[in-house]
Amino acid sequence: MGQRIFVKVVGFTDVERHALNTVFRLSDSREVSYCLWMPDAPEAPRLALFDGLSYEAPVELESPHLAGMRIIWVGPSGPASAWRTFQRPIAWTEIVAAMDQLFAPDPLDFDLGFGEDTTLPPPADDAHPKRALIASPDRDERLYLRARLALANMTQADEAETGAQALELARQHEYDVALVDFHLPDVEGWAFLKELKQARPPIPHLIVTKSGTSLADSVRGWLSGAQAFLPKPPHPGKLQRLLRRV
């Protein structure tokens, strides 16, 4: 069973809290996940995240419950007790990376697929069969992804070995999902994802694979428009559940 870290959050706007809640939800599937601490939580918080501009911050800093707790401060004039200080605009990927530095081991996410439901979903009854784009320089990875697509009843798939090939295919065809290796040989990963999301016709579902993924990658990927950011090789059960949503 994974470890859950409760985080005491002080201040922040509704928009910032919404982004933070999304970050916490993205961590749910990991060995170490983060959860907003509430007074009725089963455990005490192990980390405090402060909005330095909030009126509550000076009061909460004097709380005896913070003794021995790491503090991440967002805003100017961070106190000496703060472990890390960040400025606005908030870079959630950097804050998450700091949290991982404290609590999260290197992510391990592999599975042989035992116990997963591998039955085929019912065939689509619409006139438009689903079409996928696979972009990876690794032939074995492309074959693996094509097999997972077939299990999700998607047999129409085009393959690209480079970012340039993927973008050209995306401009020529209408895809329901793209499965993309972050480390294509001719492009920078984040720039390529941005360009792919801007391609017309648009691709509604984007799944990215990357060696050595972190929660910070998942957050940045989500902000870039990716529905999932999976370690390589992707967990077969997780990948199949994502494909069934397409």
- Mean of per-residue pLDDT scores for the chain: 83
Please state whether the predicted TM-score (pTM) of the whole model is above 0.75: no
**Packed helices 14-26 and 215-223: angle between N→C axes, nearest 10 degrees:** 130
As a whole number of angstroms, the distance between CA 23 and CA 93 comes to 9
Q: One fold for both 3-103 and 131-244?
A: yes
Confidence (pLDDT) at 122: 45
As a whole number of angstroms, the distance between CA 223 and CA 208 comes to 13
Q: Domain locations in the chain?
A: 3-103, 131-244
Stronger pLDDT, 126 or 222, i.e. the higher one: 222
**Could you read off the pLDDT of 65-90 as tens digits, one per residue?**
888 899 999 999 899 999 999 998 88
> What is the pLDDT confidence band of residue 120, given thresholds at 50, 70 and 90?
very low
In angstroms, the Cα distances linking 88 to 21, 75, 82, 108, 237 are 18, 6, 16, 32, 38
Q: What percent of the chain has pLDDT over 90?
A: 41
Contact predicate 153/124, CB 8 Å: yes
If DSSP codes are grouped into helix, strand and coil, which group holds residue 86? strand
Confidence (pLDDT) at 117: 40
CATH 3.40.50.10360, applies to 3-103: no
As a whole number of angstroms, the distance between CA 235 and CA 40 comes to 34
Is the pLDDT at 109 greater than 80? The verdict is no
Which residue's entry shows tokens 């689903």? 130
Pick the CATH number of 131-244 from 3.40.50.2300, 3.40.50.150, 3.90.1150.10, 3.30.457.10: 3.40.50.2300
**Could you read off the pLDDT of 217-239 as tens digits, one per residue?**
778 777 777 888 888 888 788 88
